[in-house]
């Protein structure tokens, strides 16, 4: 026993002085608490937005609010035409961006030779994703509204929103395609399938859930955008429902903006804006949650 | 027959894939074409550095310095919020959260990112601005401070998720090596992991900045709209995006005012373009440094 | 193209008269080794003067090697010797890797398959492949086997069903999966997945089957089943199997080729190669002195 202790004592261990260690532990505690506070701030923000908008928004929403058109100079009635308009615009944008986005992703992952073309295209997709939304609005105004003569219309707005959604769909689809193991491409080719058959029958089906996630995410993004439709599609008030792709529409996000900045009855309009915001928020958040849910389920099946 | 079809399909996909590039080039062309007349008329220097923005006065004045400064002020203010909060959240997720917490917290961040900007703007207008005005007895609630807070909150999830990605690329071996020489978790984090992920984190910050400066609806509703050079964070301002969105509806097509708004959009586009390219270059170097190909 | 042929003929000439001048060893297509096995049959696949490059790096050097019909030929050699690279040339799977270059000729039934005149998809229908890791599609068991028929334009449902059952039987998998053809193939065990991949390959009715280390990721029992299957299949097909497992080569193959550092060192009847290798390097490898 004794001999052991003396042996240990004779080789003093390299240690920091006790005070230093204590201080070290304290720094760590404070640091970690700060990080936790940062994370908590996110939850707080989300909670605050949902709480305040939900609290006052619920009071404004009833069946009539969802199904009627605005009445009495925007002080009463509902927002049904704006909901319908947002659905049209979103649908149009996805119909335009989906085939284009998936095709681009297929080219980038399946066909393109490595090298400068891929890099160029990848950089342009990333940059397109970073273009401010109001700039898309100006582009749509110049090209679709004026140059192509579509006027301020559903189709101009849809195309503008579609360009905005394009990079989202491309990146999500690319990620999904890259995740498809190379080995099953080889298996298909080795059976005498051509490249296109391989893509159509093996690669795309395997990547479908991932592509779907991207599409749903972009639906959420597109439905909530305002700036691109300011000059290309949206109107504060349109009588009745749109009857052609070339009509102006009301849209939920623009409706909120217009209610808060135009008109002469701020009190009443704010109440309706609360209701509209809650509808938009619920729409967009549920869409995102669906996308997140699909993705998490997909990840699980991949691991199994 | 078969091979002809294959080649045709390949050409089709190649053509479609160039759409993004075509749109990007289209945007640049449109902006330049519509913006050039105002530069020719006023001169780039007077346009960029002119201190008065009175586009509808007689005679009109087209100096966008107040708008540029407004954008810079609110973006800088947003960074003060989104950098610590975003990077802090990323570190928390990466370092402290267990798998169960992550399964909840990552969606929270993604959902926060998907809240539409109009809703942020509305929230800022009806909740935050009145509250700040009452609490700090401000003359006006719609000002640089309010805008910065809202933009900061909006950019936080962007910074957090990209920074978290960057952290996840840091090899485990770095951490193990640090523990092996007796460092605690905090030291490992600050001395090994953060430096290793440094350029990835700066990419996150740049992209957050890009998001904040290009944000339109929020600043349109919350910034107050006065086109004067700000002197304090309690002044109302009119950032570039807000000027475009607010005035485009009233500017007659082809007028000087119209051209001037496109010129603002061009400047804005160039700023975000530089940010995006910088982020791209930094993240490429980052991946190379860590030996990642993709 | 034409130039390489001329070169090749020159080489042939040289080779015939001055065997010592030939760098590469000589496979059976030179039919000079006098091993009883070769008389009376032409090689099904015949690689002549094959050089292969990844970028500027030469991976295969002057390979001359033929494969007899209804025989199993094993290709052995240490990791990185080029054996997997080589068999991927035989159905042009190497084209999936950009920046590669192939010189020389590879003949299938006497016709060159390396040129643009030969359609890769058509070739791969005749020369099937089974990979190192089982790679079933994320589809049902039935769909996996039917896939090759579909892409080859078979639409008759009854015919497809018959072929699928037939192929599963040939792959010795039918008994285990007949009640769950509609289940996902990903639910099968590794060994079952590999036999499914073999069935999928058989359904297309290839003439040659390439096995690229088919048992690399399997347990001994599954490995045994695959080996039995290979012995059964050689009655109908020309089989080439790459393996790093010498016992496996000895168990399943009729002929063995030994590769080392991108060169073919020696080829011959398996028994002879293992009992009386002619090259010192082959002997060293077989007796476990390196690799």
Asked if the C-beta of A266 comes within 8 angstroms of chain C's C-beta atoms, the answer is no
Per-residue pLDDT at C1: 39
In 3-state terms, what secondary structure has residue C262?
Answer: coil
Q: Which positions in chain A touch B16 (Cβ < 8 Å)?
A: 99-100, 103-104, 107
The domain spans of chain C are 2-286
CB atoms under 10 Å from CB of B179, counted, come to: 14
Count of CA atoms in the C-beta half-sphere (13 A) of A100: 21
* Direct distance between the N- and C-terminal alpha carbons of chain C, in angstroms, rounded to an integer: 36
On whether the CB atoms of residues A260 and A273 are closer than 8 A, the answer is yes
Closest to B294 measured CA to CA, from A108, C17, C244 = A108
The pLDDT confidence band at residue A18, using thresholds 50, 70 and 90, is low
- The DSSP H or E segment spanning C129 is strand C127-130
Q: Per the CB < 8 Å rule, is A28 touching B92? A: no
Contacting residues for C225 by C-beta, under 8 A, at least 6 apart: C172, C191, C195
The pLDDT confidence band at residue A22, using thresholds 50, 70 and 90, is low
**Directed axis angle between helix B256-289 and helix B19-42, to 10°?**
130
Give the whole-angstrom CA distance, residue B126 versus residue C231.
80
Give the whole-angstrom CA distance, residue A199 versus residue A181.
12
Q: State the Cα torsion C118-C119-C125-C130 to the nearest 10°.
A: 90
Contacting residues for B151 by C-beta, under 8 A, at least 6 apart: B74, B75, B77, B78, B81, B82, B212, B215, B218, B219
* Direct distance between the N- and C-terminal alpha carbons of chain B, in angstroms, rounded to an integer: 37
Q: State the Cα torsion C132-C136-C137-C140 to the nearest 10°.
A: 180
User: pLDDT digit string (tens) for C68-103?
Assistant: 999 999 999 998 899 999 999 999 998 888 888 999
A121, A130, A146: residue with CB nearest B17: A121
Tell me the H-state helices in B169-222: 172-180, 185-187, 194-196, 198-214, 217-222
pLDDT, average across residues C146-163: 90
Per-residue pLDDT at C121: 86
Distance between A195 CA and the closest CA of chain C, angstroms:
9
CATH 3.40.50.850 assigned to C2-286: no
Q: Per the CB < 8 Å rule, is A191 touching C137? A: no
**Directed axis angle between helix A133-140 and helix B198-214, to 10°?**
50
Burial label, A7 (beta-carbon count in 10 A; 0-12, 13-18, 19+): exposed
Q: Per the CB < 8 Å rule, is A189 touching C128? A: no
pLDDT, average across residues A83-93: 94
In 3-state terms, what secondary structure has residue B178?
Answer: helix
Which chain B residue lies closest to C120 (C-alpha atoms)? B3
* Token pair belonging to A266: 């701020």
Give the whole-angstrom CA distance, residue A86 versus residue A280.
9
On whether the CB atoms of residues A164 and B214 are closer than 8 A, the answer is no
Contacting residues for C113 by C-beta, under 8 A, at least 6 apart: C92, C106, C107, C123
Give the whole-angstrom CA distance, residue C9 versus residue C15.
9
The pLDDT confidence band at residue C255, using thresholds 50, 70 and 90, is very high
Per-residue pLDDT at C290: 60
Closest to C210 measured CA to CA, from C228, C230, C192, C193 = C230
Q: Is the bond preceding B59 in cis, omega lying within 30 degrees of 0?
A: yes
Distance between A53 CA and the closest CA of chain B, angstroms:
7
Cα–Cα distances (Å) from B111 to A22, A42, B84, B156, B157, in that order, read 40, 10, 19, 12, 9
List the single range of A171-180, B23-32, B67-76, C7-16 with lowest mean pLDDT. C7-16
The residue behind tokens 């202790």 is A5
Candidates 2.60.40.730, 1.10.3720.10, 1.10.486.10, 2.60.120.480; correct CATH number of A80-303? 1.10.3720.10
Q: How many residues does chain C have?
A: 291
Q: How many residues does chain A have?
A: 304
Count of CA atoms in the C-beta half-sphere (13 A) of C133: 9
Check whether C177 has a pLDDT greater than 80.
yes
Average pLDDT of every residue of chain A:
86
Distance between B283 CA and the closest CA of chain C, angstroms:
26
pLDDT, average across residues A101-111: 93
Average pLDDT of every residue of chain C:
84
Tell me the H-state helices in A61-132: 63-67, 80-106, 116-130
Give the whole-angstrom CA distance, residue B168 versus residue B165.
5
Q: Per the CB < 8 Å rule, is A132 touching B111? A: no
Check whether C156 has a pLDDT greater than 80.
yes
Higher pLDDT, A17 or A228: A228
pLDDT, average across residues B76-102: 93
The domain spans of chain A are 80-303
**Superfamily name and number for B10-289:** MetI-like (1.10.3720.10)
The pLDDT confidence band at residue B243, using thresholds 50, 70 and 90, is very high
On whether the CB atoms of residues A255 and A276 are closer than 8 A, the answer is yes
Per-residue pLDDT at B87: 95
Check whether B242 has a pLDDT greater than 90.
yes
User: pLDDT digit string (tens) for A201-252?
Assistant: 999 999 998 899 889 989 989 999 999 999 999 887 777 788 888 888 899 9
The residue behind tokens 């042009």 is C92
Per-residue pLDDT at A240: 76
CB atoms under 10 Å from CB of B144, counted, come to: 24
User: What are residue C196's phi and psi, to 5 degrees?
Assistant: -65, -40
Check whether B103 has a pLDDT greater than 60.
yes
């Amino acid at each position: 026993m004794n001999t052991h202790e003396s042996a240990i004592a004779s080789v003093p261990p390299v240690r920091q002085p006790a005070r230093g260690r204590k201080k070290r532990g304290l720094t760590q505690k404070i640091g970690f608490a700060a990080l936790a506070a940062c994370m908590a701030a996110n939850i707080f923000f989300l909670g605050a937005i949902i709480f305040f908008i939900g609290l006052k928004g619920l009071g404004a929403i009833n069946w009539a609010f969802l199904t009627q058109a605005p009445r009495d100079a925007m002080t009463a009635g509902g927002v049904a035409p704006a909901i319908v308009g947002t659905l049209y615009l979103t649908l149009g944008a996805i119909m335009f961006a989906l085939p284009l986005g998936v095709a681009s992703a297929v080219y980038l992952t399946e066909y393109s030779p490595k090298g400068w073309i891929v890099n160029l295209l990848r950089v342009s997709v990333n940059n397109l994703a970073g273009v401010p939304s109001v700039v898309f609005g100006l582009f749509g105004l110049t090209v679709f509204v004026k140059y192509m003569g579509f006027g301020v219309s559903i189709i101009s707005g849809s195309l503008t929103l579609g360009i905005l959604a394009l990079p989202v769909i491309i990146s999500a689809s690319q990620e999904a395609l890259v995740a498809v193991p190379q080995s099953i491409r080889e298996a298909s080719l080795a059976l005498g399938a051509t490249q296109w058959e391989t893509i159509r029958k093996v690669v795309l089906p395997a990547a479908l859930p991932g592509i779907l996630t991207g599409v749903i995410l972009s639906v959420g993004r597109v439905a909530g955008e305002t700036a691109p439709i300011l000059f290309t599609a949206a109107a504060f008030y349109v009588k009745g429902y749109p009857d052609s792709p070339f009509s102006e529409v009301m849209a939920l996000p623009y409706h909120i903006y217009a209610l808060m900045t135009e008109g002469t009855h701020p009190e009443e309009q704010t109440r309706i804006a609360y209701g509209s915001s809650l509808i938009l928020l619920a729409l967009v958040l549920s869409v995102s949650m669906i996308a997140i849910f699909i993705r998490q389920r997909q990840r699980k099946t991949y691991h199994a | 027959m078969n091979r002809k079809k294959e080649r045709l399909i390949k050409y089709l996909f190649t053509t479609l894939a160039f759409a993004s590039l075509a749109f990007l080039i289209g945007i640049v062309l449109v902006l330049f074409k519509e913006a050039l007349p105002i530069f020719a008329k006023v001169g780039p220097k007077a346009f960029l550095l002119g201190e008065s923005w009175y586009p509808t006065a007689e005679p009109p004045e087209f100096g966008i310095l107040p708008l540029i400064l407004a954008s810079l002020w609110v973006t800088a203010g947003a960074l003060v919020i989104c950098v610590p909060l975003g990077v802090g959240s990323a570190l928390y997720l990466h370092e402290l959260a267990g798998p169960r917490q992550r399964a909840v917290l990552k969606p929270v961040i993604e959902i926060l990112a998907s809240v539409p900007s109009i809703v942020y703007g509305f929230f800022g207008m009806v909740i935050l601005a009145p509250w700040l005005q009452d609490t700090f007895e401000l003359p006006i609630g719609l000002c640089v401070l309010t805008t910065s807070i809202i933009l900061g909150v909006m950019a936080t999830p962007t910074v957090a998720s990209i920074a978290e990605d960057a952290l996840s690329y840091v090899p485990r071996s770095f951490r193990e090596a640090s523990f092996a020489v007796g460092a605690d978790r905090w030291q490992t984090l600050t001395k090994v992991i953060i430096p290793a992920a440094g350029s990835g984190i700066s990419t996150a910050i740049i992209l957050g900045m890009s998001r904040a400066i290009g944000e339109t609806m929020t600043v349109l509703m919350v910034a107050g709209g006065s086109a004067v050079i700000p002197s304090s964070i309690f002044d109302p301002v009119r950032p570039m995006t807000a000027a475009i969105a607010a005035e485009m509806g009233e500017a007659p097509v082809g007028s000087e005012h119209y051209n001037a708004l496109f010129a603002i959009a061009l400047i804005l586009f160039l700023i975000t373009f530089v940010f995006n390219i910088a982020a791209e270059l930094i993240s490429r170097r980052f991946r190379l440094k860590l030996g990642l190909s993709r | 193209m034409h130039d390489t042929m001329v070169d090749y003929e020159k080489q042939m000439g040289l080779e015939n008269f001055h065997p010592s001048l030939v760098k590469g060893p000589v496979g059976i297509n030179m039919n000079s080794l006098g091993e009883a096995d070769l008389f009376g049959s032409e090689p099904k696949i015949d690689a002549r003067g094959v050089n292969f490059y990844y970028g500027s790096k030469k991976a295969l050097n002057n390979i001359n090697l033929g494969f007899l019909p209804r025989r199993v030929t094993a290709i052995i050699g240490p990791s990185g010797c080029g054996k997997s690279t080589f068999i991927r040339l035989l159905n042009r799977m190497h084209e999936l890797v950009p920046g590669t270059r192939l010189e020389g000729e590879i003949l299938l039934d006497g016709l060159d398959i390396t040129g643009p005149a030969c359609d890769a998809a058509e070739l791969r229908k005749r020369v099937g492949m089974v990979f190192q890791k089982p790679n079933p599609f994320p589809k049902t068991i039935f769909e996996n086997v039917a896939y090759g028929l579909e892409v080859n334009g078979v639409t008759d449902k009854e015919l497809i069903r018959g072929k699928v059952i037939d192929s599963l039987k040939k792959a010795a998998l039918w008994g285990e999966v007949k009640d769950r053809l509609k289940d996902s193939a990903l639910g099968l065990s590794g060994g079952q997945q590999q036999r499914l991949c073999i069935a999928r390959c058989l359904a297309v009715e290839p003439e040659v089957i390439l096995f690229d280390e088919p048992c690399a990721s399997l347990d001994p029992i599954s490995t045994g089943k695959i080996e039995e299957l290979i012995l059964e299949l050689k009655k109908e097909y020309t089989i080439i199997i790459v393996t790093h497992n010498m016992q496996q080569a000895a168990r399943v193959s009729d002929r063995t080729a030994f590769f080392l550092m991108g060169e073919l060192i020696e080829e011959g009847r398996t028994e002879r190669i293992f009992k009386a290798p002619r090259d010192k390097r082959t002997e060293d490898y077989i007796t476990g002195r390196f690799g």
